A and B are shown apart, each in its own frame.
Chain A
Amino acid sequence: MHPAPSVILFSVLSGAGFGLLFYLGFGLAHPSGWAAFLWWGLGYALAVIGLSASTFHLGNPQRALLAFSQWRSSWLSREAWTSVAALVLLAPMALSDWLGLGLPRGFGWPGAVLALGTVFTTSMIYAQIKAVPRWHLWLTPVMFLTFALAGGAVLAGQSFAPVLLAVLLVVLLAIWQVGDGQFARRAQTLGTATGLDRIGTVTVFEQAHTAGNYLLREMIFVVGRKHAQKLRGLAMVLTCLLPAVALAISTGWWAFVAAAVCHITGALAARWLFFAEAEHVVGLFYGKR
Chain B
Amino acid sequence: MTTLPTHTEKKLGLAIDLDTCVGCQACVTACKGWNDQGYGVPLSDQNPYGADPSGVFLNRVHSYAVQPIDGAAQTINFPRSCLHCDDAPCVTVCPTGASYKRAEDGIVLVNEDACIGCGLCAWACPYGAREMDAAAGVMKKCTLCVDRIYNENLPEEDREPACVRGCPTGARHFGDFADPDSKVSRLSAERGGYALMPDLGTKPVNRYLPPRKKDVPYEASVLAPLLDIKASGFAGWLDRVLGKI
Contact = CB atoms under 8 A, between A and B. Distances in A.
A103 interface: no
A194 B16 CA distance: 12
B67 A200 contact: yes
Given A70-B95, A76-B95, A214-B134, A63 B114 contact: yes
A214 B96 contact: no
A80 B118 CA distance: 13
Contact of A58 (B64, B134, B137, B197): B137
Given A60-B117, A60-B138, A200-B68, A208 B197 contact: no
A29 interface: no
Interface string A51-93: 0000001111101101111101111110010000000000000
Interface string B64-102: 111111000111101010000000010111111110000
Nearest to A62: B116
Given A57-B119, A61-B116, A212 B126 contact: no
Contacts of B2: 70, 73-74
Contacts of A137: none
Contacts of A249: none
Interface residues of A, number: 57
Contacts of A188: 197
B125 interface: yes
Contacts of A209: 57, 60
Contacts of B133: 59
B120 interface: yes
Interface of B: 1-3, 18, 52-57, 60-69, 73-76, 78, 80, 89, 91-98, 114-120, 122-128, 131-134, 136-139, 194-197, 200-201, 208, 210-211
7 contacts: A1-B123, A74-B95, A130-B89, A196-B64, A200-B66, A203-B64, A281-B126
A125 B123 CA distance: 10
Contact of B57 (A203, A213, A281): A213
A132 B93 CA distance: 14
A218 B114 contact: no
Nearest to B79: A208
A69 B97 contact: yes
Contacts of B93: 73-76, 125, 128-129
B51 to A, nearest CB: 10
Given A74-B93, A129-B124, A190 B60 contact: no
Nearest to A130: B200
Contact of A59 (B56, B64, B74, B116): B116
Contacts of A219: 122-123, 128
Contacts of A35: none
Contacts of B65: 202-205
A211 B92 contact: no
Given A76-B93, A195-B196, A204 B120 contact: no
A131 interface: yes
Chain A to chain B: the 5 pairs with minimum beta-carbon distance, closest first: A59-B117, A59-B137, A282-B128, A200-B68, A66-B96
A286 B210 CA distance: 20
A198 interface: yes
Contacts of A72: 1, 3
Nearest to B127: A282
A200 B66 CA distance: 6
A198 B191 CA distance: 14
Contact of A196 (B61, B78, B122): B78
A207 interface: yes
Contacts of B96: 63, 66-67, 69-70, 77
Given A208-B62, A280-B123, A195 B114 contact: no
Contacts of A202: 64-66
Given A73-B1, A202-B66, A219-B123, A194 B95 contact: no
A215 interface: yes
Contacts of B201: 130
A212 B46 CA distance: 11
Given A57-B119, A76-B95, A196-B64, A282 B132 contact: no
A200 B211 CA distance: 12
Interface in A236-286: 280-282, 285-286
Contacts of A129: 89, 93, 123-124
Contacts of B66: 196, 199-203
